[in-house]
Amino acid sequence: MLTKNWTDWVDYWAVDFDYSSRKEIIKVERGTGIGGTKGELDLRPEDFEDRWTRGYIFENEWQSFRTRNSRELELTSATHT
């Protein structure tokens, strides 16, 4: 048996307490798909627009990780209000 608990496979644990608070916005060339480009040269800033990818940015506000010297991994996050 390689492990005793599922946590033996985890080396890094992070929590974003408010994950859906920050939308992932990217700049794309106007008139293209979500990430595509028409391939034109000499594009100007006004040739681009902001688009939401329908995803969110994960910003870890609490984390725990184990190292070779310290194998303990804290699985209970700090309190958050």
Residue 50: what pLDDT? 93
Q: In this structure, what are the phi and psi dihedrals at residue 16, rounded to the nearest 5 degrees?
A: -110, 105
- Closest alpha carbon to 26 in 15, 35, 16: 35
**41-74 pLDDT per residue, tens:** 677 888 899 999 999 999 999 999 998 898 888 8
Is the pTM higher than 0.95? The answer reads no
- Type of residue at 24: E
Identify the three-state secondary structure at position 34.
coil
